Amino acid sequence: MPRAGLGHHPVTAPFFGLGQIEVARKRIDGHVRRTFTDLSPSLSNRMGQPVWLKLEHQQITGSFKLRGATNAVLALDDAARARGIVAVSTGNHGRALAHAARQAGARAVICMSNLVPQAKIDGIAALGAEIRIIGHSQDEAQREVDRLIAEDGMTTIPPFDHPEVIAGQGTLGLELLDDVPDVDTVLVQLSGGGLISGVAAAIKAHRPDMRIIGITMERGAAMHASLRAGKPVEVEELPTLADSLGGGIGLDNRFTFAMTRALVDDVILLSEEEIAAGICHCYYREGQIVEGSGSVGVAALLANKVRSNGPIAVILSGGNIDMTDHRTLVCGGAP
Ligand SMILES: *Cc1c(COP(=O)(O)O)cnc(C)c1O
């Protein structure tokens, strides 16, 4: 039986059909890696159900963000690509855009404030993007992006609230369906909602009975607060081990809020200790270096916060963690 969404809202959202996700899959084929889905013996024993891990932290640039960024860049016409792509992003989206633009022969300009650590700047520059350091805040950097759009005709690609980005992330859901068609419950990271919207749209088009659970942190979960409020709201951004899940969903959110509300069955929140345990489990039991945001699905299983009557799929969404921070976390020894 199809389940109603979180707030039992009908799917009236500017909703993405499977068609757009299938187009994305063909478009990005050969540009992104087809990642593996592996059985986790230790988590399967623990849950009494097969638990499958989608190893998306092994994606090129270290996260699934390359799927959406590549789809959006390749969907631009030649003239727009020649004028170039511009964005504010120091994280996985910035890395993905830099790589996708270079692969497509387009110029990419990433604007950042002077508060961004040198290691992050170097990482994005190494992928071939031009870096502009502007002012002391993200807002000042955003004004430079707005200027380049207005004056130079550059195009910006946002990290989640964009049809081609959502469709690109949805290709991960199609791969999961191919690999583990009998899954009952899928655990998906939830921040701005691009990943979960695309994955849920892909999966529910084929299997409306499959449960899609959003996983996020207690500290500063903007989508969770927005779902509660029934509209996009702002929350205070707090430091967290799941740093790729920080940030707001945009008060003028167009797609991902409505899609998440319609398609996601439940949301689970995690403490910092629980997230740390997820990172350590991935390292000691799975042999994988996974960032905090990438390991929240595993963390939710370890915290006994997931019930499932059948096989479970967990996405390891990213692996970009400062290796010194990672070493400090895992040096406490095996959990
Ligand atoms: C961006 C990101 C997420 C969250 O994706 P949204 O589309 O914003 O919900 C999860 N994990 C990693 C590693 C990310 O980079």
Pick the closest to residue 173 from 14, 22, 27, 12 (CA basis).
22
Is residue 243 predicted with pLDDT exceeding 50?
yes
pLDDT for 181: 97
Alpha-carbon span 231 to 312, nearest angstrom:
30
**Residue 44, CA distances (Å) to 58, 186, 210, 297 in order:** 21, 14, 19, 14
Question: How much is the mean pLDDT over the chain?
Answer: 93
Q: pTM (2 decimals)?
A: 0.94
What sign has the CA pseudo-torsion 234, 237, 242, 245?
positive
333 pLDDT band, cuts 50/70/90, is: low
Is residue 90 predicted with pLDDT exceeding 90?
no
| Ligand 1 in reach of 190 Cβ (< 6 A) | yes
pLDDT for 77: 95
- Looking at the chain, the domain(s) classified CATH 3.40.50.1100 span 18-64+162-330, 65-156
CATH number of 65-156: 3.40.50.1100
How many A from CA of 151 to the centre of ligand 1? 31
How many A from CA of 195 to the centre of ligand 1? 7
Spacing of C-alpha 177 from chain mean position? 18
pLDDT tens by residue, 290-309:
999 999 999 999 999 999 99
| Interior/surface letters 59-89, b for 16+ CB within 10 angstroms, e for the rest | bbbbbbbbbbbbbbbbbbeeeebebbbbbbb
| Ligand 1 in reach of 57 Cβ (< 6 A) | no
Is residue 13 predicted with pLDDT exceeding 60?
no
Contacts of 149 (CB under 8 A, 6+ apart): 86, 155, 156
Is residue 272 predicted with pLDDT exceeding 70?
yes
Q: Which atom of ligand 1 is nearest to the CA of 318?
A: 13
pLDDT tens by residue, 14-47:
456 899 999 999 999 999 999 999 999 999 999 9
190 pLDDT band, cuts 50/70/90, is: very high
Q: Which CATH class is domain 18-64+162-330?
A: alpha beta
pLDDT for 136: 85
